[in-house]
Amino acid sequence: MSEYLPGLAGVPATKSNISDIDGEKGVLYYRGYPIEQLAENSSFEETTMLLLDGELPTADALSEFSQQLRDNRWVKYHIKELMKTLPATGHPMDMLQTAAASLSMFYPAKDCLTSQDGCEDINYVHNMTVKIIASLATVVAMWEHLRNGYEPPDPRADLSHAENFLYMFTRKEPDPLLAHIMDVCLILHAEHTINASTFSALVTSSTLASPYSVIAAAIGTLSGPLHGGANQRVLEMLREIGSPERAEAYVEEKLANKQVIWGMGHREYKTKDPRATILQGLVSKLMASRGAAANPLLETALAVEKAAEERLGHKGVYANVDFYSGILYNEMGIPADQFTAIFAMARAAGWLSHWREQLGDNRIFRPTQVYTGKPPRDYIPLEKRS
């Protein structure tokens, strides 16, 4: 009998050279580069190329890739018309999954996925990757206007990926500091080894489904509150607590009732998530730029983190990436229900890097199970059952 490990904890599901985590030290690497160095020095476009190709690009290659993203920001009007039919009260992640799946109807993408060995046409893989990453950002920004009854602005080809997203989202010229912060956030959320949504992408990829189906499956997985949806729950939690003075009592109550403290703990990290540290610094930087002496949400968050660390630190439970990302997005004027959609448009870079890697050495996933049902038995006719 095979050993059963709930949640496949610690079970290697694939080989990958895309990213790596040292959970004991709290270190995250993209292709061998520490996330802190990329957050400080890189851009989302450059980091995406690193994840896809394995190396930092030359200046010419980066310029060409950035231009390709800019050229693919427009989506066919049918997509917008489809989005208009969706309930305005629907969650952005449900909209995004619907829109991502529908893209394959308007941009057919299975011409290379005909052999059980995957796809060796690197141009096909590259073009699909560019189209999806560019389109998702446009769709997320468009929804903010469509659900409020307004026509969204057209994309701009003179702006970076982060700048254009903020322009389309707010209809305003992007503030340089906010654009920089958004760029760093996209880098931090771009990849994180074989998490639940990436595993979902791998399983779907292994069937040679279209890349749009791969992304739609991953988006659905990311939407859950135990994965990408936690950042929205963190903000709701902090608002419920209300003030730093109530943090300790809140943490005590949650622990006593064996309930979740959103944004605390991670399957991989036994210390503070390095992305949380960077995001915390960005919140402070944004507050300082506005001359704010204090921020109620941030002060409450710091108090919750301190109380939780005092009680759970010995178990390796510390703040994760979701704990500070919600606060940061809130200060940028982004509605809470859009947090995870932004996460998804960034993580598409990682999902598609794993899609490309899977196609390079494909085998359909077919795990086994531990059967716990009835032993073999004979069928009993209906009239003989009591």
H helices of 336-384, where?
339-360
Mean pLDDT of 9-34: 94
Residue 205 scores a pLDDT above 90: yes
The reported pTM is: 0.92
Cα–Cα distances in angstroms (integers) from residue 165 to residues 66, 137, 144, 152, 189, in the given order: 14, 6, 11, 12, 15
Residue 1 scores a pLDDT above 50: no
Q: Which domains does the chain have, with CATH numbers?
A: 16-225+337-360 (1.10.580.10), 230-331 (1.10.230.10)
Structure tokens at 130: 């560019």
pLDDT in tens, 173-188: 999 999 999 999 999 9
Catalytic residue among 161, 183, 273, 322: 322
| Separation of alpha carbons 52 and 211, rounded Å | 15
**266 in active site:** yes
Three-state DSSP state, 36: helix
**322 in active site:** yes
Could you tell me what percent of the chain has a pLDDT over 90?
Answer: 79
Phi, then psi, of 21 in degrees rounded to 5: -130, 135
pLDDT in tens, 206-253: 999 999 999 999 999 999 888 888 888 999 999 999 999 999 999 999
Residue 4 scores a pLDDT above 90: no
Mean pLDDT of 348-367: 94
pLDDT in tens, 248-274: 999 999 999 999 899 998 888 999 999
Which pLDDT score, from 0 to 100, does residue 230 have? 84
In terms of pLDDT, which residue wins out, 43 or 116?
43
Mean pLDDT of the chain: 92
| Separation of alpha carbons 130 and 127, rounded Å | 5
pLDDT in tens, 65-116: 999 999 999 999 999 999 999 999 999 999 999 999 999 888 876 666 656 5
Residue pair 26/271 in contact (Cβ under 8 Å)? The answer is yes
Catalytic residue among 189, 266, 273, 354: 266
